[in-house]
């Protein structure tokens, strides 16, 4: 699992949350990381993390392209 692609999240406002959800039959939040505007988090999907939820305005870059989270103005 160490070689999985990275996801890059760049916060565009203060208080963006990157929430990791567990892999397996139970899907639960296991980690929440708070980013302030301009902060970048580089993360992978792992044996513990099957999904991520991004709350707040951010740019997300992955092998599947770029997407924006948060309210549209």
Number of residues that bind ligand TRP (CB under 6 A): 10
Given the rule CB under 6 A, which of 9-17, 39-47, 54-62, 63-71 is the region that contacts ligand TRP?
39-47
Please, what is the minimum distance in Å from the beta carbon of residue 45 to ligand TRP? Answer: 7
For 66, residues 6+ apart whose C-beta sits below 8 A from its C-beta are 59, 60
> Which of 9, 16, 18, 58: binder of ligand TRP (CB under 6 A)?
18
Stretch that binds ligand TRP, among 8-16, 43-51, 61-69 (CB under 6 A): 43-51
């Amino acid at each position: 699992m160490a070689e999985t692609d990275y996801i890059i999240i760049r916060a565009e406002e203060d208080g963006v949350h990157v929430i990791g959800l567990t892999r397996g039959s139970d899907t639960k939040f296991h980690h929440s990381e708070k980013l302030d505007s301009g902060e970048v988090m580089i993360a992978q999907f792992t044996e513990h993390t099957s999904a991520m939820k991004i709350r707040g305005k951010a740019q997300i870059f992955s092998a599947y392209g770029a997407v924006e989270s948060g309210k549209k103005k």
